[in-house]
A = this chain, B = another copy of it.
Amino acid sequence: MRTVGASQPEETARAEEPGRPAEHGRAGGAAGVKTARGTRARGTRQAQALAVALDDLPGFCSAQEIHAALRSKGETVGLATVYRHLQALTEAGSIDTIRDVSGETLYRQCGTSVHHHHLTCRNCGRSVEVEGRAVEQWAEKVAAEAGFTDVGHTFELFGVCPQCAG
């Protein structure tokens, strides 16, 4: 199991546990931007908590890990909401995603929004952002030679980071 952020007592945490008053809706305090009538911007308590968590986490982690991290900090955010925001952020390009060896999706807030790739520790999840001018060109060349169009790519590097190597 990957070790990310604050580890908790190994809770399954598949669904929100019942029995609590259920605190819905957005928070009042530091509200954010707002647009036209009815459009609430990313200012809910849950969204902010998630943003903070993403900022704190040093590397890629799964939605469930993020959810666990939130709970461990006392934040009450539903797992479904975590997934929702992660998906939204991903579509907006604010965060990056990679796939675990087991197929699980891992999320991370990157320093830059320009196209880049990652060298990720398969033990702790910490990752280095790398730009690969060379591979971008290689990809285009190969695609062009084969006559393929609308080409995209997926380049991921995995290894063991210096800290984990010990």
Q: Which residues of A contact B (CB under 8 A)?
A: 99, 103, 105, 119, 121, 128, 130, 132, 134-135, 138-139, 142-143, 146-162, 165
Contact = CB atoms under 8 A, between A and B. Distances in A.
Given A99-B99, A130-B142, A142-B130, A160 B148 contact: yes
Main secondary structure of the interface of A (DSSP, over half): strand
Nearest to A123: B150
A153 to B, nearest CB: 5
A165 B150 CA distance: 10
Nearest to A147: B162
B142 A151 contact: no
A82 B3 CA distance: 34
A72 to B, nearest CB: 27
Contacts of A119: 142-143, 146, 148, 151
